Amino acid sequence: MKHSSSDKLWQGRSSGDVADITVEIGQSIDLDIQLYREDIQGSRAHARMLEKIGILKREELDQILEGLTQVEGEIAAGQMTLRWELEDIHTHVENRLLELIGDPARKLHTARSRNDQVAVDTHLFVKKKAAALRFEILDLCRDLLAQAEKNIDITIPAYTHLQVAQPARLAHPLMAHFWSFFRDAERLQFALQQADRLPLGSGACLGVNYDTDREFLREELKFAAIYENSMDAVASRDHILNLLYAISVFGLHASRIAEEIILWCSVEFSFLKLPDSVTTGSSIMPQKKNPDLAELIRGKTGRLNGNLVNMMTAVKGLPLAYNRDLQEDRQPLLDSTYQAQLIVRSLRAMVQGMEFQDRNMQQSLEKGYATATDLADALVWEKQVPFREAHHAVGKLVAICEQNGHSLTSIPTSERSQAHPAFSDDAFYRRAVDPATSADRKRSQGGTAKSRIQEQFALARRKLEEAG
């Protein structure tokens, strides 16, 4: 099929037909239809500005505004037919406006280029998505805080090298995730602030031959500032890069808690149960309850990072100012924002439904000799044993436990005194190997002692309040 050049809004110069491949590779409407609200918002502001500086008459402005409202309603209702030969959202809106109101629509593109139009659309979109995602991540932080507060008295092994290390309060790893997500919210705030600059009014790249009022546009569209340089405004995509980066890091953080959820739900760990609503069964194995949401979150990090690299590579080495390569921004932007929303909502559903299996955590603490370090330290403080000797004695004790199938708490007094005579002091020994007591000994700032965790809760609540 050939497309007549008269379909095109830029038809003036070319006379020949346009090849199918030109149309197919050139279209972005299949994706940027999703930017229709921003596109129409930008057009409304631009039309008002044109009326203010005398390019549109009052009645023409009214017709354009009314027409734009109708176009918006039609797109929202799914009534707009997408035509590749009309390329992008800007042309679709303008073309439909022309059908609806006729001549005044022809004036709307005065002092404007699609280059600054697409830039303003994506800036508005980035601001909207960064703000929305930030709020959802803050809600996820609230969910984590609620679980941490509710389970303050449960102890769980902390791991290094995925080997049992020391007893932690369960609230501690939960709050560790809290803080990394809280920083994601901060990164989104930064992305939002950087996108808060108006590119509209830059024209194709050097400004326009009209005495436009960009300050008016800035106010209408609620931007904090105006791009200082029109070439930069149409050529840069760091508003998108900032958002993609913030989302990628969020995705990495999400994949880490997802991995822990997967491990903790396994029979081997059995630390956690998820509600049926966020797990799936197997089509063949009747006993299965799979943490699919967590696996999908873990799997999605690849595409989020891919989207970031995709955009960075598209921008690399591009000469100023606008180049058509930049149209490739739509796919990573739309995909990452949507995926991030799926991730945060899935995480919230899982975190809200978490049921912890306290007994199994205690068993792992025992099996992993989690308080071995505490016992060595207790020998140093209370029995004045040099640390090297203490380390050796506890090592020997663990070997005896392993040989005879005991844990540090179950080993009889007679057997443990073989490792060190001081271990026959029952009161001393029991205090030293108790997991909750061990956790509360970690009282340095940011540590796992109950009082320090409670400090974290207070700080977290304050930060959440400030964040809004």
Q: Which residues are annotated as catalytic? A: 161, 282
**Which segments of 76-146 are extended strands (E)?**
none
DSSP H helices in 151-270: 171-194, 214-221, 230-235, 238-265
Asked whether the beta carbons of 326 and 239 are under 8 A apart, the reply is no
For the bound state, the minimum distance from the C-beta of residue 331 to ligand ARG, rounded and expressed in Å, comes to 12
For the bound state, the minimum distance from the C-beta of residue 329 to ligand ARG, rounded and expressed in Å, comes to 8
**Which segments of 161-241 are extended strands (E)?**
163-169, 197-198, 225-226
Asked whether the beta carbons of 169 and 374 are under 8 A apart, the reply is no
Interface residues toward ligand ARG, by CB under 6 A: 28, 87-88, 114-115, 118, 324, 326-327
Of 115 and 166, which CB lies nearer to ligand ARG in the complex structure? 115
- Cα 326–215–69 angle (5° rounding)? 70
Of 43 and 279, which CB lies nearer to ligand ARG in the complex structure? 43
Of 330 and 420, which CB lies nearer to ligand ARG in the complex structure? 330
For the bound state, the minimum distance from the C-beta of residue 326 to ligand ARG, rounded and expressed in Å, comes to 6
Beta bridge partners of 169: 155
C-alpha closest to that of 46 among 206, 192, 210: 210
Of 33 and 263, which CB lies nearer to ligand ARG in the complex structure? 33
For the bound state, the minimum distance from the C-beta of residue 10 to ligand ARG, rounded and expressed in Å, comes to 7
Q: 369: which DSSP letter?
A: T
Beta strand 225-226 with 272-273 is unpaired
Of 58 and 324, which CB lies nearer to ligand ARG in the complex structure? 324
Asked whether the beta carbons of 85 and 26 are under 8 A apart, the reply is no
For the bound state, the minimum distance from the C-beta of residue 273 to ligand ARG, rounded and expressed in Å, comes to 48
Rounded CA gap, 353 and 329, in Å? Answer: 37
